[in-house]
Amino acid sequence: MKVLITGGAGFIGSATAKALIDRGDEVVLIDNFNDYYDPKLKHDRLDIFLKDYAGKFTLYEGDIRDTAFLEEVFAKESIDKVVHLAAMAGVRSSLLDPRLYEEVNVRGTLNMLDAAVKHKIQNFVYASSSSVYGNNTKLPFSESDSVDTPISPYAATKKCNELFAHVYSHVYGLNTTGLRFFTVYGPWGRPDMALFGFTEKITSGKPIEVYNFGNMTRNFTYIDDIVSGILTTLNANLKYDVVNIGGDREEKLTRFIEVIEENIGKKADQKLMPIQPGDVPSTVADIGKLRAMGWAPTTNIEEGIKNFVEWYKGYYGA
């Protein structure tokens, strides 16, 4: 099996590449190494995290907005399945540059869907997001809930991806599964996300901003559980579906911070702030659908944050 991963130098993409190579698949990566966050981290994921896998994957540096580039990759490699993760991924920054989010996330995904149909891809698994649930108040969030009221440009692009995937499944018979990831965390994670920022600031004695005055709940999902969910849906070849992937414990943000403090061995200087535009106070996943496919999350925040802080200290020499 040859699998193409877009966003292959990203947090989730690099971890997915490792798991696919481990199970014997051939892996092709696409990434444009943009500077939304430090591209060095993206290069290091490939050079350090995937050090023992050098020569076991093929990397194409390029942009999913570039259809000629995509055609070159698909024509050269005989791809069987696609894991499409490349995207502009920040909720808050999408408010600053909605057009860029539309270009990369909507048109880029459309380019990928076109290429997948043309090259007869068996299964197209792509990243959606829990943010599509917007300010829905019925918890936990279920795939059958209405998601017609996104509250950030980022969420709107992810909802758009689900709509286009449905069109391509229906009209061209392309198998597609959209994965609604719930707050992913773990080693080699993204610097723009809470765990990374909190760890950095607590370590260096700077105050942390705690939004919605700490009244936030999340199903934090450990990277290994996300990867096993991706593999489960990649194997399943569903005709069209969207699936939640979230941890099985509803965690308060305050507890999350406590576990970070315990692992760093230092108390945080907390600045309580109102909720940010585009952000949602609570995301809790109904994970029944993916569980029914044989998947279950296995890592709690106590173990997951410990792994992250250990990695952070090693990587930054903190």
Ligand X SMILES: NC(=O)c1ccc[n+]([C@@H]2O[C@H](COP(=O)([O-])OP(=O)(O)OC[C@H]3O[C@@H](n4cnc5c(N)ncnc54)[C@H](O)[C@@H]3O)[C@@H](O)[C@H]2O)c1
Select the residue interacting with ligand X from 32, 152, 176, 219 (CB under 6 A). 32
Structure tokens at 88: 């502009």
Catalytic residue among 60, 133, 154, 185: 154
User: In the complex with ligand X, which residue's Cβ is closer, 123 or 189?
Assistant: 189
Minimum Å gap between C-beta 111 and ligand X is 10
Vertex 170: Cα angle to 149 and 283 (nearest 5):
30
Residue, CB closest to ligand X = 10
Which residue reads 């290069």 in tokens?
A: 43
Task: Examine residue 155 and tell whether it contacts ligand X (CB under 6 A).
Answer: no
User: In the complex with ligand X, which residue's Cβ is closer, 30 or 115?
Assistant: 30
Q: Judge whether 154 counts as a catalytic residue.
A: yes
Stretch that binds ligand X, among 48-56, 183-191, 209-217, 235-243 (CB under 6 A): 183-191
Select the residue interacting with ligand X from 127, 253, 268, 284 (CB under 6 A). 127
Structure tokens at 254: 């305050």
Return all residues near 144 (Cβ < 8 A) that are at least 6 apart. none
End-to-end CA distance of the chain: 40
Q: Helix 223-236 and helix 11-22: axis angle, to 10°?
A: 60
Cα torsion for 252, 128, 33, 79, to the nearest 10°? 140
Select the residue interacting with ligand X from 1, 53, 56, 65 (CB under 6 A). 65
d(CA 251, CA 270): 18
Residue 299 parent element (H or E): none
Task: Examine residue 67 and tell whether it contacts ligand X (CB under 6 A).
Answer: no
User: In the complex with ligand X, which residue's Cβ is closer, 108 or 140?
Assistant: 108
Task: Calculate the alpha carbon distances from 259 to 190, 214, 270, 301, 318 in Å.
Answer: 19, 14, 14, 8, 18
Stretch that binds ligand X, among 86-94, 207-215, 254-262, 272-280 (CB under 6 A): 86-94
Catalytically annotated residues: 154
Residues at the contact surface with ligand X, assessed by CB under 6 A: 7, 9-13, 30-34, 42, 63-65, 85-89, 104, 108, 127, 129, 181, 183-184, 190
